[in-house]
Each structure stands twice: as C-alpha cells, then as structure tokens.
Amino acid sequence: MRFPAGEAHAAPQDPGTGACVIVRGTHAEDYLEAAMWVDAQRRAGAGPITLAVPYLPGARADRGTPLGAEVYARLVRLVAADRVVAVDPHSPVMPSLLEDLVVCPAWRIIRRALARRVADGWVSEYVGVIAPDEGARRRAGSTARALGIPLLQARKHRDFATGKLSGFSVEPLPEAGKLLVVDDICDGGGTFLGLAGAAGIGPERLDLWVTHGVFSGRAERLREHYGRIHTTDSLPSAARADVGARIHPLTATILQEAAR
C-alpha cells in the first residue's frame, strides 16, 4: 500500500517463527516495498527473514559501465533480509556480491519438473541435453548429469570483422529420441531459433527449457521449432500467451530452500 503522497507502507503480518517475501519485479520500487515489509516484520518480532529473488535483476550486466550487477546487488542488500534465495543466476558475478545467498540450481528444478524417480535414479522422456552455446555448458551439463543422459554442445559462430553472428553448429545428434535445450534466459529467442535450424530436427524431437522467460520481441516464433517450451514463474513475462510456455511454479522450491 501507499500513502497519498506516494510513500510505500507495509503492515506486519503474523511473524510466526520466520518469514519469506518473494520479489518477481525488476524495478527499484519492488525492492523498496520489500524493505518496508521486512522492517515491519522485524519490528513485529519475526524470526529469520528470507528474501526470494527468483530472477536476479542485473545479473546479465556483469561487466562494463555501469556495472548493473553491483547496482542491483545494492538494492537487494537494501531489503536487509537475513537470507536471499535466487534461482539459476546468469553468472557467478552477481551472486559473489551478495552475502548469505542461497542459489537453487537449474538442474534441481528441471529434474523435479520433467523427470520421475525410479529405484536407482531418475527417468525422463529425453535422450540428451543440448547446451546452446559455451556459456550454457555448465548449466546444461549439470542438468544432463542429473537426468543421467548425454550432453550435446552447440556453438555460435561470429564474423570476426563485424562481430556479428554468422551461424550455429551442433555436434552430431542421436538419430532418434527427444532432446532438451537448456539455458537460463530467453529474451527474443534468436539463439534458440538459430540452434533449431542448425540441429535440423523438427519440434516433435526438440523441447526447450529456459528458467527465466523474458520472451520479448518475436519470441512466439519459438513455437514453430520447439514442441514444448518450459519455463518458471520467475518473471511475469513468462505467461506471454502467444509463446505458450508451460510454466513450472517456483514457490514450493523457494520455501524449501528458505527452510534449509
């Protein structure tokens, strides 16, 4: 709520033994409101307070000027929670700027969403995981190990004279079976469209997992190349209707991490 002059305000809730606030926005106002809520809870006698930021804003701005990761890290610290939970951060830079940070990795969420437990492991409908570029290799590799299936590597190629992308390639793929492309963020979808073209297989064999669905621009074109598009509810934009992604809620995962 807000006062007539525009200042943020928050009323304390039953503090219980602890509290958790989830911020899915990327604006400074979102963090100011969270800070007000945390202050109200603390003054009401709440136990340890967790701030959950499923999508760490500014995590992609981890170099250059301004250093967006540092600026957004200050906003997160402003909330003054006892612990911060984030999901599948883009790079290690922003997490290194936050103390008492708990990171929930992509593989854990993907395995819970897309696989089932058997006696001695996990089973899914996929025969391989594809990393769309070198930057996604660690994330996709962890997912492949968690599912017990091979990792396949795709690569971007650039024109050294212009710095622009000139194409994509992917190592030889299995002749049969479904494959899952794994990455942390989908913005306009250009990387995943290029990969699908290089893979040369239809949507009946190719699915996509992106933890954070920005889905800007013409991201709806992904539906022409991927049978299923999986994401989480870390961002409101994940629900863009013409993309038609299957949204896997994070609340239960966040609360489990907060209780650890």
Q: What is the pLDDT of residues 150-179, one digit of tens each?
A: 999 999 998 887 877 789 999 999 999 999
Residue 9 in domain: no
Q: pLDDT per residue over 63-97, tens digit each?
A: 889 999 999 999 999 999 999 999 999 989 999 99
For residues 140 and 8, what is the distance between their CA atoms, to the nearest angstrom?
Answer: 41
- Is residue 257 assigned to a domain? no
Residue 38 lies in a domain: yes
Q: What pLDDT was estimated at residue 17? A: 60
Report the pLDDT value the prediction gives residue 134, as an integer from 0 to 100.
94
Same-domain pairing of 232 and 195: yes
Residue 128 lies in a domain: yes
Task: Among 104, 128, 155, give the residue marking a domain's end.
Answer: 104
DSSP calls for 182-244: EEEEESS-HHHHHHHHHHT--TTTEEEEEEEE---TTGGGGGGT-S-EEEESSSGGGG-TTT-
Q: How many domains does the chain have?
A: 2
**Final residue before a domain boundary, out of 104, 135, 157:** 104
Question: CB-side exposure of 194: number of CA atoms within 13 Å?
Answer: 19
CB count within 10 Å of CB 129 equals 28
Are residues 179 and 89 part of one domain?
no
Q: Which of 88, 104, 120 is the last residue of a domain?
A: 104
Q: Is residue 256 part of a domain?
A: no
Distance CA 149, CA 200 (A): 21
CATH code (residue 238): 3.40.50.2020
pTM exceeding 0.85: yes
Assigned domain for 159 exists: yes
The β-bridge partners of 232 are: 248
132/225 same-domain check? yes
Q: Give the Cα separation of 75 and 153 in Å (integer).
A: 36
Shared-domain flag, residues 53 and 178: no
Q: Are both 96 and 214 inside the same structural domain?
A: no
The pLDDT value recorded for residue 3 is 72
Spans of the chain below 50 pLDDT: none
SS3 for 31?
A: helix
Tell me, yes or no, whether 162 and 57 share the same domain: no
Q: Are residues 70 and 182 in the same domain?
A: no
How would you label 205-237 residue by residue, b for 16+ Cβ within 10 Å and e otherwise?
A: bbbbbbbbbbbeeebebbbebbebbbbbbbbeb
Is 242 found in the same domain as 127?
yes
* Structural domain that includes position 237: 107-248
Residues near 56 by Cβ (< 8 Å), separated by ≥ 6?
A: 72, 76, 86, 89, 90, 94, 95
| Domain co-membership, 34 together with 80 | yes
Q: pLDDT value at position 2?
A: 75
pLDDT at 259: 66
Confirm whether 61 is domain-assigned. Answer: yes
72 and 115 inside one domain: no
